[in-house]
Structure 1
Amino acid sequence: LREFFVPGVDGKIRLGDVMRRAKERLTRNSNGTKVSDPNKLKYCLIGDPAMAIPLPSHDIVVESINGEPVGDNSQAVLPANSVVTISGAIYRPDGEAATDFNGVICYEVYDAETVGTSVETIGSSSLEMNFNTRSYKLAFAADTVVNGRFEATFRLPAQCLQSDGTGLISLYAYSNDMSVEAKGYNEDFVINGMDAAAPDETAPVIDNVWVDTPSFSEGDAVPSSTVFHCDVSDEESGIAVDELSVGKTAVLWLDGNVLSSELSGQYSPALGFGRGSIEYALSNLSVGNHTLTLRVFDNAGNSAERSVSFVVESAVSTAYELTLDTDVVTDQLVMSIGGAVEEGMVVRYVIADAHTGDEVWTEETASLQTAWSVVSGTASAAPGEYLCRAYITVGDNHIVTSDKKIVVLGQ
């Protein structure tokens, strides 16, 4: 484990180097003298030894909370329901300020630690082990970094643990060109007391609701495996992401049945406090009409609800199955549909981001084969996972193929 944090000569930490150095360490005695023990140098690595471990190179330092400097064993006292402003800077590995760093910073605010218990049963006896954990996330937001400095404002929920233990702010930042990452945290505060601010009685806003693709319209046909998306906002109190308010977190229903009552993992913050989006993957939906309903809460307990209806199309017959010439793409992908071309047939080929559902490429044609180039003009598809499908229209029949997953490798 110690070798995981030792960068190579180029500043990167690669899996093969970690294994090699760890094995070499085993061939030295307590005095550091190398001893001959070939068996300890043998190992089997199932993976790519050249794979770099994605650890941020730069550091994030929170320098003030509500305008007061932090550090030197001082702790800020933050009342529940209060507005908090943090500011700080990005630093290079050599300790110098990264004044050329411009990008986005994401931060999560956690309440004080609580004690959890793990129980392991061995035969007829049970062993209990206590551990400290931070179970309650109070805020999750993003903001901008300009010339290596940032300032972010958020509101704490009214319901907090009211503990004397310190809270935690976990921070991560990336540059606009995605070439540099930074990480950091701060525990120089406690959350105690209550701010007597006027209550927020305004409900959050749910908009930009779609299924499968941003061009979706109410009642559109979608494939059986797709994605639900919406934007949510509440800039006064923030969207509730904590688990303290039982029954007051986001809930998603499908046709009146609870699909998920824990959507914090599907929430992604947008720039600025209280704004973000929810994306939920749907799979193996039955053919026919469906309605999704989302309810979200803000940190003041106000709620909003929004529904969207859609139709799941019949899966295409095996005669029209989509096939790919490869599932690992470096420059070009050929997509083909087995079967005969029928009069008036229209085929729309789609390649979409596997995680967001956003269409990155589409082509409408009468042909049962087409090619997609990773690099098109000056733009290129980012490395990652994508889904391929085809929508086929023959007269009044609208059918869709099952999704095929591909992986695009970096150039």
Structure 2
Amino acid sequence: AFTGSLKSYVLFLEKNTLKPVIMTPALANQDLHSSEPAEMIIVTHPLFRNYADRIAQVHYGNSGLTSQVVTPDEIYNEFSGGIRDLVAIRNFLRMKYLKQAGTDHPLKYLLLLGDGSYENRTLPPLNPNFIPTYQSQNSNIVVSSFTSDDFFGLLEDGEGEAEGTEDIGIGRLPVSDTAQAGIMLRKISRYLGSSNTGDWKNNICIIADDEDGNTHINDAEGLSKILEDSVPSMNIKKIYLDAFRQVTTVNGQSYPDVTAAINEQVSSGALIINYVGHGSENGLAHERVVKTEDIKSWSNFHRLPLFITATCEFSRFDDMDINIITKEMTGRPSAGEMVLLSATGGGIALMSTTRVVYSAPNYYLNRNIFDFAFDRDTLGEALRLGDIMRLAKNNSGSGTNKRNFSLLGDPALRLAYPWHGNVVTDSVNHVLVSEGTDTLKALSRVTISGHIENMRGETLNDFTGTVSPIVFDKTKTIKTLANDGGQPYSFKLRNNILFSGKTTAAGGKFRFSFIVPRDIDYSYGPGKISYYASNNGQDLNGYFNDIIVGGFAQVSESDKSGPKISLYMNDTLFRNGGITDKDPKILAIIEDKGGINTTGTGIGHDLVAYLDNDNNNSFVLNNYFENDIDNYMKGKVVYGLSDLTGGQHSVTLKAWDNFNNSSVETIHFVVETDGRFILKDLLNYPNPVQNETKITAGHNRPEKLMDITITIYDLSGRAVRIIRTTEITSGYQLSPIIWDGKSEEGSRVGKGIYIYRISVVTPDGEKASASGRIIIL
């Protein structure tokens, strides 16, 4: 009917109507806006939440740092209407940042626990994009593309994409499964723990690529100069490619000695390893001086460095492979990710690149990293990795090059630099250093004393621990080889060691003595003493460079005998001809009343080992020798071999004393590679037995927990005694197990021949057994 007003009608079929969606499961109540203040936000996928909680606990227990753990979905629920949007994560952080600004606990750090992908639309499990990534607008143009977690930390008005300064320190742990999350938890926990000690923390290694008009070596020398001036307590190890012999192979040019030097440096330890030059997702330098195979072989879990790589794409964490049929995406691990996520070692963190970068702005940022790496905050605390990276970038000008550098690691970690005080030299040969120092002459006996003090210069009278001094000869000039044309480059290197040992510190004071080797550079010049000290998990360091090395002392003592060498594989239980796995360790105990020569100066006088009597397969061990505590006349070498072929091998070691007398010792061993758990080379000694005998055997399961049973039988097959024990073997030999010649009842067994059987079971269920004979007198 006519009503005088316009009416509208809608015709529809009921079957075509939309039905409301009921959320399953229902969203739990949450209120991030009212959450408690936290100094660090950990954004993690639910798969890794337990590990994020434990990382937060580790930091709180270590330094009182407070953290809040949150998932991306929880953030999306409040900041983007439930839609997956990385801007929501930044908006959440901005809310926290503004609310906590000006308080006693401002927001300082963001840890992203989860891998990312350049393809943000597809979700796990089809895509390992656990935490979304920011991709630049020119992401399809190689030279201008960047991906950067910096986006989450640009929290002031008007900031975004590449513009602005970071307001918080940001790091990512690009884990793809719970195993990798567990690896990072263990690394962080140990790095922050009291057992993380050692004089490797005094080392920084600078690696420089060749070619390009010596640009990379020049940059490396600039970085070295910054470190020498700002932290003279550190020892700079230089591995410059063009200073080594280049080798031509069917695969192109290579530097095998550089690869060996880098692997040895990783093994022996460094606080920081810094590379400058060309690189890719697969390794470092065109000559591939570091390959993924090398990274997999690293076993340095107790000496984890921070890696800085000023090179292209080494840590491109957002790359992936796509199955064209299933459309499933799998993460393609870059070399940098492999370094970080290695279960056996690698690095604790990387300040590394995700895309193409350029040398000039690289150096600018790298220089700034070192400018801030050893700074302290207003409370006197060491800066954390997130602070160092944030300040370095904020002081590196504008441009997108710096956005291609990411911190892959925990931003709340502090470098394991020995911050707790200083080791100070008081006297040299009983003359106070304030009154002048004696010259260290070849073959002279030197005594050095000193004390331990806190950062305020007060002697720590309650310090009781160890001091590890290393006495260096003068620097020497090295000239590069111009392997690829161009001009040779000269640089200074200090790597000749006069003495390396340990001495006891009591009441905050210490003293040590040694004999200066004959093989020094007799010209006069400044040497250096480097110190590392530790006491109940607290460590500190120091240096002294007002000391002259040179000349020759006239001594009446005549030493014509070479050092005594005791050679083993892995531990001192090893017997000549025993078995090992494919990665055994050389263990040599060397002693001589004149001390051991490790200077590396005298031609042919290196401490050296040869594998299988092959002079071309040798290892210089000067830097691996360490004197026993309070004893310059005795020490040991531990050096790891790797990937040996199965079968019989030998190691020959040659050592020189400081008077240039030498000795040689050889040991034989058999590498078992078939994977079976075996026992062999049974031994009981003495045999025949009058009172008691010690029973042992070789095996191929080092560092394994073992349940060991020894059963003694008489010739009728009756078990007269059963001995059970459990041990974790450090090497390839069971610790000797004593049988006192008595039965289970405690009475002495009769004279005659007895059969003993050793049975061993590991927690993995592996079993091995072997039998031998004992004669009772």
Same fold (TM over 0.5): yes
Which letter does structure 2 place at the counterpart of 1:66? N
Alignment of 1:224-243 (within 5 A): 224-234=582-592, 236-243=593-600
> What percent identity do the matched residue pairs reach?
26
- Of 497, 502, 505, which aligns to 1:142? 502
- Of 526, 531, 543, which aligns to 1:171? 531
Q: How far apart, in 2, do the equivalents of 1:109 and 1:4 lie?
A: 26
Which residue number in structure 2 is paired with residue 86 of structure 1? 448
Which letter does structure 2 place at the counterpart of 1:90? I
Alignment of 1:183-222 (within 5 A): 183-207=542-566, 209-222=567-580
Q: Classify the secondary structure of the residue corresponding to 1:23.
A: helix
Kindly indicate whether the alpha-carbon contact (under 8 Å) linking 2:469 and 2:501 is maintained by their aligned counterparts in 1.
yes
- Of 390, 411, 415, which aligns to 1:53? 415
Q: Classify the secondary structure of the residue corresponding to 2:392.
A: helix
Q: How far apart, in 2, do the equivalents of 1:53 and 1:107 lie?
A: 22
The one-character-per-residue Cα deviations of 1:319-341 (angstroms, maximum 9, x if unpaired) are xxxxxxxxxxxxxx999xxxxxx
Shift of 1:103: 1.3
The one-character-per-residue Cα deviations of 1:202-248 (angstroms, maximum 9, x if unpaired) are 321223x32244432233222222112121112x3211101222112
- Of 239, 247, 255, which aligns to 2:612? 255
Alignment of 1:241-320 (within 5 A): 241-258=598-615, 259-271=617-629, 272-316=631-675
Q: How far apart, in 2, do the equivalents of 1:358 and 1:129 lie?
A: 50
- Of 371, 385, 395, which aligns to 1:15? 385
Alignment of 1:88-167 (within 5 A): 88-118=450-480, 120=482, 126-167=486-527
Compared with structure 1, are the counterparts of its residues 136 and 39 closer, same or farther at alpha carbon in structure 2 (3 Å cutoff)? closer
- Of 407, 412, 429, which aligns to 1:66? 429
Compared with structure 1, are the counterparts of its residues 359 and 20 closer, same or farther at alpha carbon in structure 2 (3 Å cutoff)? farther
Which letter does structure 2 place at the counterpart of 1:237? G
Between stretches 94-103 and 303-312, larger displacement belongs to: 303-312
**TM-score, length-normalised on structure 2?**
0.39
Shift of 1:349: 10
The one-character-per-residue Cα deviations of 1:116-140 (angstroms, maximum 9, x if unpaired) are 2235577x6x233322222422222
Compared with structure 1, are the counterparts of its residues 357 and 55 closer, same or farther at alpha carbon in structure 2 (3 Å cutoff)? farther
Q: How far apart, in 2, do the equivalents of 1:286 and 1:239 lie?
A: 32
Q: Classify the secondary structure of the residue corresponding to 1:257.
A: coil
The one-character-per-residue Cα deviations of 1:286-323 (angstroms, maximum 9, x if unpaired) are 333333222211111112222222222241279xxxxx
Compared with structure 1, are the counterparts of its residues 136 and 221 closer, same or farther at alpha carbon in structure 2 (3 Å cutoff)? closer
Shift of 1:45: 1.4
Kindly indicate whether the alpha-carbon contact (under 8 Å) linking 1:81 and 1:197 is maintained by their aligned counterparts in 2.
no
Which residue number in structure 1 is paired with residue 341 of structure 2? none
In the alignment, structure 2 segments of 5+ residues that lack a partner are 1-369, 678-703, 707-724, 736-758, 772-777
Kindly indicate whether the alpha-carbon contact (under 8 Å) linking 2:532 and 2:542 is maintained by their aligned counterparts in 1.
yes
Q: Over alpha carbons, which structure has the higher Rg? A: 2
Kindly indicate whether the alpha-carbon contact (under 8 Å) linking 1:224 and 1:287 is maintained by their aligned counterparts in 2.
yes
Which residue number in structure 2 is paired with residue 2 of structure 1? 371
Shift of 1:24: 3.8
Shift of 1:26: 4.8
Which residue number in structure 1 is paired with residue 764 of structure 2? 369
Q: How far apart, in 2, do the equivalents of 1:133 and 1:16 lie?
A: 32
The one-character-per-residue Cα deviations of 1:364-387 (angstroms, maximum 9, x if unpaired) are 7557736xxxxxxxxxxxxxxxxx
Compared with structure 1, are the counterparts of its residues 317 and 168 closer, same or farther at alpha carbon in structure 2 (3 Å cutoff)? closer
Shift of 1:93: 0.8
Shift of 1:49: 1.5
Runs in 1 of length 4+ with deviation above 4 angstroms? 37-43, 119-122, 348-353, 356-360, 364-368
Q: How far apart, in 2, do the equivalents of 1:165 and 1:38 lie?
A: 45
Compared with structure 1, are the counterparts of its residues 51 and 80 closer, same or farther at alpha carbon in structure 2 (3 Å cutoff)? same
1:393 aligns with 2:768: yes
Q: How far apart, in 1, do the equivalents of 2:464 and 2:733 lie?
A: 26
Q: How far apart, in 2, do the equivalents of 1:367 and 1:62 lie?
A: 50
Q: Classify the secondary structure of the residue corresponding to 2:386.
A: helix
Instruction: Give the structure with the larger strand fraction.
Output: 1
Q: How far apart, in 2, do the equivalents of 1:282 and 1:206 lie?
A: 19
Which letter does structure 1 place at the counterpart of 2:392? A
Which letter does structure 2 place at the counterpart of 1:226? P
Compared with structure 1, are the counterparts of its residues 254 and 2 closer, same or farther at alpha carbon in structure 2 (3 Å cutoff)? closer
Kindly indicate whether the alpha-carbon contact (under 8 Å) linking 2:443 and 2:518 is maintained by their aligned counterparts in 1.
yes
Q: How far apart, in 1, do the equivalents of 2:639 and 2:585 lie?
A: 6
Shift of 1:41: 8.8
Q: How far apart, in 2, do the equivalents of 1:239 and 1:211 lie?
A: 21
Q: Classify the secondary structure of the residue corresponding to 2:598.
A: coil
- Of 7, 32, 44, which aligns to 2:406? 44
Q: How far apart, in 1, do the equivalents of 2:705 and 2:439 lie?
A: 60
Which letter does structure 2 place at the counterpart of 1:165? G
Q: Classify the secondary structure of the residue corresponding to 2:526.
A: coil
The one-character-per-residue Cα deviations of 1:5-56 (angstroms, maximum 9, x if unpaired) are 11344733321111122234457xxxxxxxxx79799552122222221211
Shift of 1:284: 2.6
The one-character-per-residue Cα deviations of 1:243-279 (angstroms, maximum 9, x if unpaired) are 2221122222333223424111322332121321111
Q: How far apart, in 2, do the equivalents of 1:368 and 1:226 lie?
A: 22
Kindly indicate whether the alpha-carbon contact (under 8 Å) linking 2:517 and 2:658 is maintained by their aligned counterparts in 1.
yes
Q: How far apart, in 1, do the equivalents of 2:619 and 2:606 lie?
A: 7
Q: How far apart, in 2, do the equivalents of 1:182 and 1:79 lie?
A: 26
Which letter does structure 1 place at the counterpart of 2:424? V
Shift of 1:147: 1.3
Which letter does structure 2 place at the counterpart of 1:67? H
Q: How far apart, in 2, do the equivalents of 1:101 and 1:169 lie?
A: 20
RMSD: 3.5
Kindly indicate whether the alpha-carbon contact (under 8 Å) linking 1:158 and 1:194 is maintained by their aligned counterparts in 2.
no
Compared with structure 1, are the counterparts of its residues 38 and 256 closer, same or farther at alpha carbon in structure 2 (3 Å cutoff)? closer
Compared with structure 1, are the counterparts of its residues 201 and 334 closer, same or farther at alpha carbon in structure 2 (3 Å cutoff)? closer
**TM-score, length-normalised on structure 1?**
0.70
Kindly indicate whether the alpha-carbon contact (under 8 Å) linking 1:254 and 1:292 is maintained by their aligned counterparts in 2.
yes
Q: How far apart, in 2, do the equivalents of 1:358 and 1:269 lie?
A: 25
Which residue number in structure 2 is paired with residue 407 of structure 1? none
Q: How far apart, in 1, do the equivalents of 2:490 and 2:605 lie?
A: 28
Kindly indicate whether the alpha-carbon contact (under 8 Å) linking 1:211 and 1:226 is maintained by their aligned counterparts in 2.
yes
Which letter does structure 2 place at the counterpart of 1:155? I
The one-character-per-residue Cα deviations of 1:101-128 (angstroms, maximum 9, x if unpaired) are 1111112222222222235577x6x233
Compared with structure 1, are the counterparts of its residues 395 and 99 closer, same or farther at alpha carbon in structure 2 (3 Å cutoff)? closer
